[in-house]
Amino acid sequence: MYAIVEIAGQQFKVAKDQKLFVHRLQDKEGSKVSFDKVFLLDDGKKVTVGAPAISGAAVEAKVVGHLKGDKVIVFKKKRRKGYRVKNGHRQSLTELMIEKIVATGAKPVLKAAEKPAAKASTPAKPAAEKKAPAKAAPKKAAAAPKAEKVTPAKKAPAKAKDADLASMTVAQLKAVAKEKGIAGYTSMKKAELLAALSK
C-alpha cells in the first residue's frame, strides 16, 4: 500500500516503514505528526484518487530527527568584469518515519504549535474589541473639525455684512456666493469672489 501525500508544501510517494527527508518541520523529535492532504491511495487492489484530496485519509508519521543536508555551492561569475561570488547553503531537513496510512475515518491531529494558537486567538478578540473604541475615538475627533469647517460656511451668509470677507477662506467665500446666486463662482479666484460679493 502506498499514498501520495503533501508534506511541507511538497508531494511525496510514501509507504509504511519508509524513511523520508522533508523540509524542516516545527515538531519536536519523537513527536507524532499526521498529514491529511492525501491525493492518491493504492492498496494493491484499488486506486483512489482525490479531488483534490481524499477526505478521511491521512498519513501518520514520527519525527526521527532534525538535520542539515549536504552543502551546495552557489557560484556566480560574470566574465571579464571581475565579478565572482561564492556562497554555500545547507538545507534544514526533518527525518520522518511513516508509521501508517489510514484510508478512511482519520481525524486531523492538532500539532503542538496549533493548540496554543487556538487558545491565543480567543483572548485576542476581546483585546481587539477594547482597542476598537480607542481607534474609533480619533476618527470622531477627526470628523469634528471637518464639521466645524463646514458650519462657519453655513453661518457666514448671516454674518457676511458684519464679517470681513478678506479673512474668509476660498471655500467659505464660494459657499456665500452660492447662496447669493452668483453665477460662475466655482471657477473664480479669491480676489474675484471678493469683488463679486462686495457689490
- Parent domain of 184: 145-199
Number of domains in the chain: 2
Answer yes or no: is 116 within a domain: no
Q: Which three cell numbers stand for residue 139?
A: 476618527
Given the C-alpha cell 460679493, which residue does it identify?
197
Whether the ω angle into residue 52 lies within 30 degrees of 0, i.e. cis, is yes
Residues 103 and 150 in one domain: no
Residues 97 and 151 in one domain: no
Residues 96 and 182 in one domain: no
Answer yes or no: is 129 within a domain: no
Closest CA to 58 of 109, 4, 106: 106
Answer whether 152's CB lies under 8 Å from 145's CB: no
Q: Which three cell numbers stand for residue 6?
A: 503533501
Residues 22 and 101 in one domain: yes
Answer yes or no: is 198 within a domain: yes
Confidence of residue 196 (pLDDT cuts 50, 70, 90): confident
pLDDT averaged over the chain?
80
Residues 6 and 102 in one domain: yes
How far lies 174's CA from each of 54, 133, 145, 197, 199, in Å? 68, 37, 19, 10, 15
Residues 15 and 89 in one domain: yes
| pLDDT value for 4 | 96
| pLDDT value for 178 | 86
pLDDT in tens, 38-77: 999 998 899 999 889 999 999 999 999 999 999 999 999 9
Q: Which of 107, 125, 158 is the last residue of a domain?
A: 107
| pLDDT value for 194 | 83
Model confidence, pTM = 0.50
Residues 84 and 178 in one domain: no
pLDDT in tens, 89-102: 999 999 999 999 99
